[in-house]
Amino acid sequence: GAVVSQHPSRVICKSGTSVKIECRSLDFQATTMFWYRQFPKQSLMLMATSNEGSKATYEQGVEKDKFLINHASLTLSTLTVTSAHPEDSSFYICSAPTSGGTYNEQFFGPGTRLTVL
């Protein structure tokens, strides 16, 4: 199947700093990518849809100024957590669909665990 990578896999930062997470589709192009957040023992919550060449679409309750998304190319989307605080500590996962239409199989990255001290 298609491969999606994320970098870094784990990051620890001080409160107030910004952290950038990269999501790459390695063997296919993705005009759309999705960013999810997952708290311990909970499900994935969709944060935003990253669109190549246009602004990201954020889900209700997600602060767009805090979670900056840039879809720089057909294989790369970045999520920047600005001025991170301990409550932003979470597991961040990206995904990318490989085809359009009603067939919606998506491939997920391995996730990035963010710990804000």
Partner 1 sequence: SQQGEEDPQALSIQEGENATMNCSYKTSINNLQWYRQNSGRGLVHLILIRSNEREKHSGRLRVTLDTSKKSSSLLITASRAADTASYFCATDDGQGAQKLVFGQGTRLTINP
Q: For binding to partner 1 (CB under 8 A), which residues are involved?
A: 1, 6, 32, 34, 36, 41-46, 49, 60, 91, 93, 95, 97, 100, 102-111, 113
| The token pair that represents 42 in the structure block | 């909970």
Nearer to partner 1 by Cβ, of 16 and 109: the residue is 109
CA angle 88, 45, 77 (to 5 degrees): 75
List Cβ neighbours of 20 (8 Å cut-off, separation of 6 or more): 78, 79, 80
Q: Write down the least CB distance from residue 109 to partner 1, Å.
A: 6
| Shortest distance (Å) from residue 87 CB to partner 1 | 19
**Shortest separation between residue 50's beta carbon and partner 1, angstroms:** 11
Phi, psi of 26 (to 5 degrees): -85, -30
Of 18 and 42, the one with the shorter C-beta distance to partner 1 is 42
* Nearer to partner 1 (CB atom), residue 51 or residue 82: 51
Structural contact between residues 73 and 53, judged by C-beta atoms closer than 8 angstroms: no
Strand partners, 35: 48, 94
Q: Which is nearer to partner 1, 36 or 81 (CB)?
A: 36
